[in-house]
Structure 1
């Protein structure tokens, strides 16, 4: 077979490949257009999104506009006004610099712009084809300088990407709003608004204040009062300023954590991890709200790492993050009252007391895997770490999380629970069960966790919720995008007996009114429970899995108190009911508080089985 000749691809083909690599999502398109508006010196940016983006977007700024001599180059690849040569990267201060964004957007949809500079007497409307070539030019009326970019038929030329986007359009819309929030937060002097096709304002900022005023406009005064604002010095001429949650004022998720470098929104998972660790070291189990901007010399980090420019490399990342972690830890330490003593009431302890050597287990007939030294500690050691005993269940697999991969012979599936043979009770805390077959396997079942999970699912199935009407309606402070989610999903929310009213005339963050709340087991839920419920379902596409976290905790507490306790003596019949009962549950692997229900011990020798049979 003759070797194929290497040939250079055409310029048009190369451009399509490059543009498809740079921007591949709807949120990425919006992000680049907003960055262009800020780089152009705009003090006001409006983003109009039609039908979650499926019918197009329109981004308007009041910046300098596009000069007439730049019309031809506006949509071309690697055409930019922000840098001339590679050395400029070390001192770049603008969001964009590569000259690939507009070419990529032209390749992702139909692009039309309306622009005007201070030198122009009248505006111009320009249309570009998918290659970024100017194909139509006309005059238009435009009062002030600036640019409006209209993009339609988004990702239609990329059918696979478009289909994926259409399947997850709500999640992508939420990601887009998160990007817009980020740019509004790091540019509080810019008036920014996100608007839907029906004219409803998702959020808006006035551009008249600093960070605190901007956060009040986005999140409401109630949320901002839970924040502590700071400004600290770091190493090597660096500073860090922003706001973090006060002790005990965190959120259930990390959705309200934003990191910036020189006002550039960036993805810094290691920094987020360190901040969360510092917060939790003070005894808090939730996630802090974080708005952190690191001011650093441009030569100390690199932005040209990924196409979306959200990943950066620091020259001394470890030192910078370690110092920042220490500074925030000192802030939280200073905010905790001296007389406050926090104890970890749910300290995890080993599931079973494990002997130091495998020989000790073999003496009683349990054979541990020989090919992995020290595995007895993994088999019977501390349970899987969960975020506190009172946390929600972890995502559960179809097979038990027994420290092994799914190919391991010690993993048990739900359909085998009915085959478990009760051996007895250990230490009045664990039911020991045997699974005979290809090598007999021994398991330890936590009697309290297993019985609690069994009762929890029973109580949830019998749940009856009623609505308690409020004497006076309660206006609820919420994020603007959460408000619109409530407006669009009122029937879904009222299934759980919350009664709400959406006041379209009220300003953003003040439009949701609570007029009725659920009552379950004589406990009345409130505003905080409503906000937690909305936050938990806002990105949940499967409506059938909705649940109110507070109700879940109430039922879990009832199940816990009524279950068999550690220290209770349990008869063989009751042990059988518990073990075989959890096998009929949908997710039997952990209790409602995340505590594992079952652990593998090892294999049992044939001689011991013969002795058991003789008995």
Structure 2
């Protein structure tokens, strides 16, 4: 029997789906203020939003005739009928926000004064959105909405909200930053008060009519120095072809894109995607494909960083659907492929002109004269030639055209060798690659190999694939090998190559069919039913014993193959616990680089260098306190307000990483934090970029000890150098010590450089 859900339950269910977080609640209220024509929006929080959220504006205010329907479900002044959705130009239009906030908050209070009214009104609403109190209240034109104890009507969500308040607060600031950037002509401020302390401003813009000025107000002038304005270009033929666009399918002037992107120079970008903002018709949104494309193009020129992005895409309102989700951040767009093609063409053109240049200052020593500057004499040319910029593409072309002296004979011979049809070029390239592979391939004697677990134990058993991933650098391989192993490898190279060729020829010959003469003979076999019966009883007893001890399924199925590293790690995590390492029996050392262990009926092979390296790395990560180098004068970091807040709440983590900071809470925003000392360790130096990376990491995981990526690289390098090398002989106690360490670390499955520490080798029951 199906019964209708009562209205109060429907209201509660739907409200919980409309407002999901603190960020959503603040977003809805700020959008209402901007829709009301406000030029000043002030957001105030208590205890990061747990106790109170308040948004005030100087907009038009609410007319008295709308007081009753202000917080009722699906009541809106922004749509007349469904067709208006096609041309909606306001942020809000669904009529759900205030109604949902009534259902989710302890109380919702509105103080408003319409532009035509002489005095304001204070309105109190219950959980169903009904007006329970209406009294006069003095106020200038505009509206203030106050929420107390958000999510208090949903106990589980309220508890999660309180537990994750720092993360919720950071997400709210990120969403608010997007409105600060795009809302030109509007001054937006945000302040937070903790306990009975003073109110701290965390965000502020200055009512500028420029998106660039808004970016500077939010993120500081330093961010502006690295930005270039977006320059829109029509997509070229090759990019059109990539996206399946034909000339007849491409509408003209459908999209207009403006905004700013980071320069692609190394060191200019950011370590994370924490400052990427996309807008469609000035509405903040999350276009997944466009965001992914921007990062992919940026990585073509700067592999190790991410860009700052603030792009507004203007498109006809009938080509976009914003009514997909209640928060309106997921948007459906017509001609999305054309948008991606325009973005790709434009970004490539922008980054190529800015990045692929080499500046050369041509100074001829023969034409110089002494020029006196005070008491300092310096040699300068008579006529200083201007700096010239050479595109990298032109530089490559110059090399390919053989315009450099001294290498003509080699180039001409190479040109002759590579001439001919494209097929001949391909054969030539493959043969050259083969020769280079033979030269660079490690020798057979010094390279350990592994078999898959289903192969029988015979000669093939030791012709497995190497445990080291194929992408591992030769430099790292040399560093982890002992001098004796390196010498043996170099001496064995010619022999290894010859044996490789011989074995290939032998295999090729054995694959051919040839007639074989077979002489049959008869052999008498002894047979006894009594012996057969005894053997069957023994096998059944053994089978019963195995069934009692081991599971009835194969625990380890992944092969020892660089392409299956991830599946092998997942398998080990699932089937093994860290306390099993102490129960492993040491069988012995293989090839002076690997430890063979036995756990019940399973054999494992452990990379002695990789496992020792991971243990040393985690110990360095856990226990090392980096020493700081004091600066001559404190350096102002010019951090945005939210970054300053995150840093001040995690000062101890920064100190453990070697950053000593001076905090002045009474100073202006962006001037409250100064760097007093920064960590230095031998030839490693760190700076403000590492601080920004730490802030980003702590925004998601506040209070948890973490390290910047460059500190991790330093620890990985040190752990590698101090670990047991390949080629070092180990006794049983030394091997047992390495295996026991695997049970003591947090993540024992691979080393900091990605090398697997252990793999399952074989199951003895299956082999027997």
Normalised by the length of structure 2, the TM-score is 0.67
Give the secondary-structure state (helix, strand or coil) at the position aligned to 2:631.
strand
Q: Deviations over 1:55-107 (max 9, x none)?
A: 11110111111112111111111100111222222221211111111111111
Contact 1:379–1:403 at 8 Å: present in 2 too?
A: no
State the alpha-carbon separation in 2 of the partners of residues 602 and 260 from structure 1: 56
Give the secondary-structure state (helix, strand or coil) at the position aligned to 2:231.
strand
State the alpha-carbon separation in 2 of the partners of residues 552 and 337 from structure 1: 30
Give the secondary-structure state (helix, strand or coil) at the position aligned to 1:538.
helix
Instruction: Report the equivalent of 2:15.
Output: 19
Instruction: Report the equivalent of 1:414.
Output: 578
State the alpha-carbon separation in 2 of the partners of residues 503 and 462 from structure 1: 30
How far is the alpha carbon of 1:454 from its aligned partner?
Answer: 2.7
State the alpha-carbon separation in 1 of the partners of residues 728 and 573 from structure 2: 33
State the alpha-carbon separation in 1 of the partners of residues 293 and 305 from structure 2: 14
Where is the helix percentage greater, Structure 1 or Structure 2?
Answer: 2
Q: Does 1:122 align with 2:119?
A: yes
Indicate which of 433, 447, 469 corresponds to 2:596: 433
Instruction: Report the equivalent of 2:219.
Output: 219
Indicate which of 281, 286, 291 corresponds to 1:272: 291
Structure with more relative contact order (C-alpha pairs < 8 Å, separation 6 or more): 1
How far is the alpha carbon of 1:162 from its aligned partner?
Answer: 0.8
State the alpha-carbon separation in 2 of the partners of residues 547 and 93 from structure 1: 45
Give the secondary-structure state (helix, strand or coil) at the position aligned to 2:133.
strand
Give the secondary-structure state (helix, strand or coil) at the position aligned to 1:124.
strand
Instruction: Report the equivalent of 1:47.
Output: 43
Contact 2:449–2:463 at 8 Å: present in 1 too?
A: no
State the alpha-carbon separation in 2 of the partners of residues 232 and 157 from structure 1: 49
Instruction: Report the equivalent of 1:364.
Output: 460
State the alpha-carbon separation in 1 of the partners of residues 741 and 613 from structure 2: 11
Normalised by the length of structure 1, the TM-score is 0.82
State the alpha-carbon separation in 2 of the partners of residues 213 and 461 from structure 1: 43
Residue pairs, 1:104-119, within 5 angstroms: 104-109=100-105, 110-119=107-116
Indicate which of 646, 671, 678 corresponds to 1:517: 678
Indicate which of 350, 375, 380 corresponds to 2:561: 380
Residue pairs, 1:439-458, within 5 angstroms: 440-443=602-605, 445-458=606-619
Q: Which has the larger radius of gyration?
A: 2
Distance 1:90 1:454, change over 3 A: same
Instruction: Report the equivalent of 1:165.
Output: 161
How far is the alpha carbon of 1:170 from its aligned partner?
Answer: 0.9
Distance 1:8 1:412, change over 3 A: closer
Provide structure 1 residue ranges, at least 5 long, that are not aligned to the other structure: 343-348, 385-399, 610-615
Residue pairs, 1:20-35, within 5 angstroms: 20-35=16-31
Give the secondary-structure state (helix, strand or coil) at the position aligned to 1:231.
coil
Instruction: Report the equivalent of 1:196.
Output: 192
State the alpha-carbon separation in 2 of the partners of residues 332 and 448 from structure 1: 42
Indicate which of 724, 728, 748 corresponds to 1:570: 728
Q: Deviations over 1:136-180 (max 9, x none)?
A: 11222223x211111113221111111110111111111111110
Instruction: Report the equivalent of 1:134.
Output: 131
Instruction: Report the equivalent of 1:546.
Output: 706
State the alpha-carbon separation in 1 of the partners of residues 306 and 735 from structure 2: 39
Distance 1:441 1:229, change over 3 A: farther
The worse-fitting range, judged by mean Cα deviation, of 479-488 and 417-426 is: 417-426
Report the count of equivalent residues. Answer: 568
Contact 2:181–2:211 at 8 Å: present in 1 too?
A: yes
Q: Deviations over 1:291-319 (max 9, x none)?
A: 22222222222221112111112234344
Contact 1:533–1:547 at 8 Å: present in 2 too?
A: yes
Instruction: Report the equivalent of 2:63.
Output: 67
State the alpha-carbon separation in 1 of the partners of residues 103 and 44 from structure 2: 21
Instruction: Report the equivalent of 2:415.
Output: none
Q: Deviations over 1:420-458 (max 9, x none)?
A: 6456546x8x626354534x3454x45543332233234
Instruction: Report the equivalent of 1:284.
Output: 303
Provide structure 2 residue ranges, at least 5 long, that are not aligned to the other structure: 235-249, 359-390, 394-440, 465-552
Distance 1:493 1:461, change over 3 A: closer
